[in-house]
Amino acid sequence: MKPPVKTLAFLTIFLLYFSFTNAQFNFGSSGTIATDVKKVIDNYPNHFQNILGDPIIQNPQSTDYQCNFKVTGAEECTITRYSGKKNTISSWQAVMLTTENFDEAKRKFRSLYNQLNNLSAESMHLKGEYESPAEEKRFTSVLFSFDPPGGTVKNLKIELVIEAEIMSWKVKVLIYDRNRDDDEKGEEKEN
């Protein structure tokens, strides 16, 4: 009877060890959207250079790249770089859900909001005011900003979006640079 017990014990230890090492060497994402968004925020000051993958689409004024960092639960992640005369502007986007079911998209939107609101990064907290999506609106977003604002992320915005696209709903997380509020006027030029 002892040999089967030893074999069973050995097999159990082997499976536990394999499970542990497999978890240790999983270099993908860390398990939560909040932790993954922190990693993307850490890459914001250098225009997401450390997570920039291969080019996907090249346009005259922008280039879309694959993101080489897998975000938990994301269907796809892309980085867009806009070329300008003065400096390069970059944005990051993760499509978190594509579905035909509005209620499913709404639940995902709320879940992501709960994970991102009050997220602590750079000794600041993300703050955003929740707005409940409505199917007839076809677009709802929550704009997060840092509280208190400042540091290398003073212009950084994180936006959670739910929007209708043809016959489906998409839930996205966006990270981008925003220098001014939409209601601010631009510089006026004299003729």
Residue 165 has pLDDT above 80, yes or no: yes
Residue 9 has pLDDT above 80, yes or no: no
Q: Which of 64-73, 105-114, 149-158 has the lowest mean pLDDT?
A: 149-158
Residue 188 has pLDDT above 70, yes or no: no
Instruction: Encode pLDDT of 110-142 as tens digits.
Output: 999 999 998 887 667 889 999 999 999 999 999
Instruction: Encode pLDDT of 76-97 as tens digits.
Output: 999 999 987 677 889 999 999 9
Instruction: Encode pLDDT of 12-43 as tens digits.
Output: 554 444 443 333 333 344 468 889 999 998 89
DSSP per residue, 109-144:
HHHHHHHHTT-EETTEEEE-------TTT-EEEEEE
Residue 151 has pLDDT above 60, yes or no: yes
Q: Which of 1-15, 52-66, 85-99 has the lowest mean pLDDT?
A: 1-15
91, with CB counted inside 10 A (0-12, 13-18, 19+), is: buried
Q: What is the mean pLDDT of the chain?
A: 81
* Torsion over CA: 50, 87, 37, 123 (sign): positive
* Torsion over CA: 85, 183, 144, 162 (sign): negative
Amino acid identity for residue 18 in this structure: F
Residue 104 has pLDDT above 50, yes or no: yes
Q: Which of 24-28, 52-56, 111-115, 163-167 has the lowest mean pLDDT?
A: 24-28
Q: How would residue 3 be classed by pLDDT, with cut points 50, 70 and 90?
A: low
Residue 106 has pLDDT above 90, yes or no: yes
